[in-house]
Chain A
Amino acid sequence: MKNLFQIWLNEYYIIFSDIGSLLIFFGAIIIYPFFYPLPYTNEVLKNVPVAVVDMNQSQLSRQLTRMLDSNQLINVTTKALAFDQAKTSLIKGGINGIIYIPETFEKRILRGEQAIISVYSDASSFLIYKQVLSGIYHATGTFSAGIEIKRMLARGNMQEQALSARAPISLLPVPLFNAVGGYATYVVPAVLVLMLQQTLLIGIGLLAGTRREKGRGKDISSQSVSIVSLVLGKAFAYFSIYMVHVVYLFGILFRFYHFPQRGNPLDLILFIIPYLFASIFLAQAISGFFKNREISMVILLFTSIPAVFLSGFSWPKSSMPDWLNHLALLLPSTVGIDGFLRINQMGSSLKDVGFNWGILLGLTAVYFMLAVISIEKQYNRP
């Protein structure tokens, strides 16, 4: 017990006396959360440029154009006189959508016929496509409703009836958990959870590589200490540092960014504990592969982006092959990101994410054993 405590303290000394490990265990944790969200700080994409090709040039077509322009998602930046001109601009990327109003537009509406406008939208990027279409549908819907109410009123219907006669069934969409559809709110929490795992893997790998490089036996931990104490003592040092990070990131920084925090804090802590331990033991288990100080970063850096996608947060797991989903469970981040988002952003209870939690506990146990084997080998002990 005393040994374990010594190793624990000694590990702090090792971490704090190495500028390389400080940069990973502290520098990254401080810089990333401020740098990474920068592209997303506006949260919602607005004012996507579109062109209106108005062949009608009537009062009604100009009214529709004004309504399109005043929609916050899109911005009518070009009023082209010919479709080809607008299309060239679309291909060149100056605009992302075209609304074509035909010559007969006003005439048809005044006659009580249906006028058809054509919309050409750039679908090469999902978000742009979505914003352009919802902007146009919303503006056109408002315009249509105005026309229809006028018609009904002209026929002497009561206004209320006129309104309700518009659609036999209406749909009310109620987005839950990220009501405004903010992009930072969507991406950043997931990435920060991943960052905890990745910095642990790289940082612990760096320390192991450094120790090998410098030659063994210099630190006290290699003498007369049980392997379990050695593994746990080191692990507690990392764990305690990361619990401070957890409080900083999810307790303070999330408030700063106004990210939702719907979960029960106790559930969140209980979920994060095995996430951190599983990551730490995994890091210790693989740290034997790193024979130099820099190798862990060289090899592990690329894993971040695939790991985010494997967690299923942007692409549903049900659309990936089962074998890949099963294999991905070996990474703590796969169930870790998913479970964290469900608890913190959606307000699920620990019981609701019981599967995720169970996997993390299982990984903690398995990786602990592997860590013992790996550390035993690294410290060259029977």
Chain B
Amino acid sequence: MKDAVSDETTPGFKTVISREIQRMLTRPLYLLITIVLPLVSFAIFWIIFNPGVPKDLPISVYDADNTQMSRRITRMLDATSLLKVSQRVTSIEHGKKQMLKGKSNAVILLPKNLEKDILKGLSPQVVNFYNNEFLLLGSMINRDVTAVIQTASKGLNLSIRQKKSEMATAAMAHIEPVAIKKHVLFNPYLNYFYFLTGTLQPAMLQIFIIVMTVFVFGIELKEGTAGELFEKSGGNITAIILGKLLPYSLIYILLGFFMNIYLLRIPGFPFRGHLAVLVISTILFVFAYQAIGIFIISLTANLRMALSVAAFYSSTAFAFSGVTFPIMGMPLFAKIWSSLLPLTYYIKTFVDQSMKGAPVSVSIPDLCFLSFFILGGVCLSCFRMKKILNDPAYWGRS
């Protein structure tokens, strides 16, 4: 029985797949969307994030004290790898003006009598006016300025108290009754190259997959070739769906592996989990987006409309995937929407398996959700797809 079915399926499937490959090879647009543009988009992110950690961001210092102490703090700020004291300004206003011009990211005010007040124990205040419009940079800058002032402060405290002839360890205890020993997990160098590249690339890939899936089916409707396709397949909808999609599945899966291999080969890339899980997840990810693609085209039965829906769905996905703003902080509707995106599950698996080194069991629910999209998408669109491919009323609409 099983053999009989596959015997019936095979000729239709073979015809459809060879027809599709021919179409793919003869239309430059197809190669552009399947191979060239995805690779270009990967390359853009590799190049943008390659240094991993920003360096030498210009800041300005308003040194109203101009003493050994204030100069020492200035040197310490300049010595961090993130910051570069690019200019001395003569007032806070002057420093802010430089910020408005985009020439500086912060003004550090070293107040008058800084050194004197330290010696008097008056705890003078250094002020960090920083540009928080560019949020990521703002927090990096404030983190490093805070660290510099803390280091300077600790050194001073120790020497002041030692002068008062306390024991060094006791002096330490007076500085901070409770000290924090920090352990940075999963990303010890706080390098966001991995995170951003590893998540932006699948975000790009899903756009291409869904657009291409919608396109290869929609174009048959638009150009009125759906009937011919239907006949050639012997009216076998399974053969049509598989035959038309598998060539692209293969290409996109290979692209998915390529983006993973690229990351894994970078020295120091934290991969602690199970490669097999990542491989399975990549495959399911591609199929899931293809399934959603055929769902959209069969629902709309109109290439342009389907593309608009696919565009909306895929181009907003990154914002909802929890990379930029974690899902736990989103309002309910956004949480629900993010759960309707295969990208969310793929990225979670990627982070769990690569950076966190989670056990397989953690990723199994995510793999199940991805499979869900595949099953759901195919089941929901099979019958309608059969109908629209076979009914000229749906052809030629745009």
Question: Which A positions have Cβ atoms within 8 angstroms of B?
Answer: 20, 23-24, 27-28, 31-32, 35-36, 38-42, 44-46, 48-49, 64, 90-93, 109, 112-130, 133, 136-137, 140, 143-144, 147-148, 151, 161, 163-179, 181, 183, 186-187, 206, 293-295, 297-299, 301-302, 304-306, 309-310, 313-316, 318-321, 324, 338, 341-342, 345-349, 352-353
Known: A174-B130, A293-B304. 11 other contacts (CB 8 A): A38-B333, A92-B358, A113-B173, A117-B179, A120-B185, A122-B186, A148-B174, A171-B150, A176-B132, A320-B47, A346-B131
Chain B residues with CB under 8 A of A28: 312
Proximity bits, B347-363, A CB within 8 Å = 1, else 0: 01001100111110010
CB <8 Å contact, B325 and A127: yes
Given A35-B316, A144-B177, A173-B128, A319 contacting B135 (CB threshold 8 A): no
B side interface size, CB within 8 A: 122
Task: Determine the chain A residues whose CB is within 8 A of the CB of B192 once the complex forms.
Answer: 126
Q: Are B195 and A125 in contact (CB under 8 A)?
A: yes
Would you call A144 and B176 a contact (CB within 8 A)? yes
A196–chain B nearest beta-carbon distance, Å: 15
* Complex contact B325–A183 (CB within 8 A): yes
Contact A39 B319 (CB under 8 A): yes
For the complex, is B18 an interface residue (Cβ under 8 Å from A)? no
- Provide the bound-state CA to CA distance between A343 and B132, in Å: 14
Which B residues between 6 and 42 are near A, CB-CB below 8 angstroms?
A: 29, 32-33, 37, 41
Q: Which A residue sits closest to B173, measured CB to CB?
A: A114
Distance to closest chain B CB from A195 (angstroms): 10
Contacts of B204 on A, CB cut-off 8 Å?
302, 305-306
Task: Assess whether B338 is interfacial by the CB under 8 Å rule.
Answer: yes
Asked whether B45 is an interface residue with its Cβ less than 8 Å from the other chain, the reply is yes
Measured CA separation A176–B208 after assembly (Å): 39
Residues of B within 8 A of A143 (CB): 177-178
Q: Which residue of A lies closest to B200 (CB)?
A: A305
B207 proximal to A (CB < 8 A): yes
Q: Are B125 and A298 in contact (CB under 8 A)?
A: no
Query: Which residues on A sit within 8 Å (CB–CB) of B358?
Result: 91-93
B128 touches A172 (CB 8 A): yes
Q: Is the CB of A174 within 8 A of B129?
A: yes
A186 close to B308 (CB less than 8 A) = no
For the complex, is B146 an interface residue (Cβ under 8 Å from A)?
yes
Interface residues of B in 30-79 (CB under 8 A from A): 32-33, 37, 41, 44-45, 47-49, 51, 54-58, 73
Within 8 A of A (CB), among B175-212: 175-188, 190, 192, 195-196, 200, 203-204, 207-208, 211
Known pairs A39-B320, A301-B314, A318-B57; A123 contacts B186 (CB<8 A)? yes
Determine which of B99, B126, B131, B357 lies in contact with A91 in the assembled complex, contact meaning CB atoms within 8 Å: B357
- Shortest Cβ distance from A316 into B: residue: B54
Asked if residues B178 and A118 are in contact (CB atoms below 8 Å), the reply is: no
Give chain A residues whose Cβ lies under 8 Å from the Cβ of B188. Answer: 123
Contact of A20 among B203, B312, B398 (CB under 8 A): B398
**Quick check: B176 and A114 within 8 Å, CB to CB?**
yes
Which of A119, A170, A179, A319 is B132 in contact with, Cβ under 8 Å? A179
Does B139 sit at the interface, judged by CB under 8 A? yes
